[in-house]
Amino acid sequence: MRIPFTFSTVISCCIIPCLAGCNRAQPQGEQARAVTFQRQEDFHWPQGKRVAISLTFDDARLSQIDRGIPILDEYGLKATFYVS
């Protein structure tokens, strides 16, 4: 009996990631020392602020620029736009 192609593909897609995670070796020697984190000083927000909020949108619409920037300017908010 022949196994259907889609069934074998689905099974392969499930098994391969599981097996790939089994070979996670621990760093040795110089690599182990590079992984160690150093304690850093406390972070101070600019101008004495206590928090920041990040909003993200993934629409890639021109209306974000046409309508969004004037609204952000009206409230004095900063924004970063990524072009892809």
63 within a domain of the structure (yes/no):
yes
71 within a domain of the structure (yes/no):
yes
82 within a domain of the structure (yes/no):
yes
47 within a domain of the structure (yes/no):
no
28 within a domain of the structure (yes/no):
no
- State the residue range of the domain holding 82: 52-84
Q: What is d(CA 84, CA 64) in angstroms, rounded to the nearest whole number?
A: 14
29 within a domain of the structure (yes/no):
no
With a CB cutoff of 8 Å and minimum separation 6, the contacts of 78 are 72
Domain count, the chain: 1
Tokens of 77: 């908010």
84 within a domain of the structure (yes/no):
yes
List pLDDT tens digits, range 1-34.
566 667 767 777 767 766 666 656 665 665 555 5
List pLDDT tens digits, range 71-82.
889 999 888 777
26-49 mean pLDDT: 69
2 within a domain of the structure (yes/no):
no
